Homo-oligomer: A and B are copies of this chain.
Amino acid sequence: MISFARGAPAPECIPASLLADCARAAIEHDAAALAYGPVGGYGPLREWLGEQHAVAPGQVLIGNGGLQALGFVAEAMLAGDERRVLVEGPTYDRTLTILARLGADVEPVPMDAEGLDLDALAAALDSGPRPAFVYTIPTFQNPSGRTLDLDRRRALVELLRDRGVTLLEDDPYRLVRFDGEPLPTLHELAGGVGVVHASSFSKTVAPGLRVGYVVLPPELVRAVEAVAVAAYITPALLGQATVWELIRRGAFMPNVERVRALLRARRDAMLTAFERELPSSASWSRPQGGYFVWADLGVDTEELSARAAAAGVAFVKGSDFFPDGGGGETAARLAYSFVSPSEIDEGVAKLAALL
């Protein structure tokens, strides 16, 4: 099976022998990585993240993966009477699962090639009950691969600031950029006011370490830590200390460069194969980074995915990325991150033969 479904890094993206050495060194340098620690995570890594995001270390909470940290924030923000959450349509399916479990009323706002449609967002904000928060993945979005441009970033921050609505920015792909200029985070543009920034080391180091974090406005720290305290005594610290050791020895950004090159080759292979193989009725995003291409294939992708699986190719159907499956019926998320360039060629050709 050639898997365009798996939103995970190819094995060669993970610097195993470097991490083996870092894990050993992390414990040798600081046995605190083996004991119960603070609920907010491993101290030296919190301090470094605080510096990166220009906040106090106490505003950083590192959990067992970005998704868990993000779930804590969502739970804290949904603790009041506000149940409505505005998300991008499409958006990350696992966040939809978390929001559904927390009893949120999730409402998708349309996107175009440059990301969230801000007119549609303004209209949604100005009708219906006040939302608990707006959730966005602004850079190389999962599932669409789209990136919110700089003008829209500024306008989005302003729009929510004017209305006093908190923004939850989920940004784990930001450093995995192949082309174009890096953009400021929404958190940065807002000066940290009214924005929660979530990210992770799953895409830049290794997902199995389960090291993800949120950067919180000061007024949210107590509520989010209370949710974390109810969930665990301490997060898994060895992975956090291993990531810190990688950073401490200056090996983090060189590894990100290495990962970028490996993934750029895969992105290029997929876009080239699409141009060559797909019918003119199909259209797709052209991501400048991240893991995913979003394609409109012009046919029912639920039915297509079953036929593709039988032919040895897997992808995720578009409707999985809308609340209650309300959208994306002819779309597909195709991850180029896990497969090799030659598998991409083969898989796209097989898929095209089915269209």
Contact = CB atoms under 8 A, between A and B. Distances in A.
Interface of A: 8-9, 11, 14, 16-17, 19-21, 23-28, 31-37, 64-65, 67-68, 71, 94, 97-98, 101, 206-210, 230-239, 242
B35 A97 contact: no
Contact of A16 (B8, B28, B206, B230): B28
A34 B211 CA distance: 11
Contacts of A230: 97-98, 101
Contact of A11 (B31, B207, B210): B31
Copies in the complex: 2
Contact of A208 (B37, B97, B98): B37
6 contacts: A35-B206, A36-B208, A64-B235, A64-B236, A98-B230, A210-B236
Contacts of A34: 14, 16, 19, 206-209
Most chain B CB within 10 A, of A8, A21, A207, is at A207
Contacts of A209: 34, 236-238
A20 B26 CA distance: 8
B28 A20 contact: yes
A73 to B, nearest CB: 15
B236 A207 contact: no
A203 to B, nearest CB: 12
Given A230-B97, A239-B238, A28 B17 contact: yes
Most chain B CB within 10 A, of A14, A27, A67, A230, is at A27
Contacts of A28: 16-17, 20
Contacts of A67: 232-233
Contacts of A101: 230
A242 B232 contact: no
Nearest to A211: B236
Contacts of A206: 34-35
A207 B232 contact: no
Given A16-B31, A31-B14, A238 B23 contact: yes
A208 B232 contact: no
A21 B209 CA distance: 17
A35 B11 contact: yes
Given A32-B208, A34-B207, A208-B36, A64 B232 contact: yes
The 6 closest A-B pairs by CB, nearest first: A236-B236, A20-B27, A24-B24, A23-B23, A34-B206, A210-B236
A323 to B, nearest CB: 16
A232 B20 contact: no
A35 B207 contact: yes
A222 to B, nearest CB: 17
A238 B242 contact: yes
Nearest to A94: B233
A71 B230 CA distance: 10
A207 B235 contact: no
Nearest to A15: B34
A18 to B, nearest CB: 9
Contacts of A239: 236, 238-239
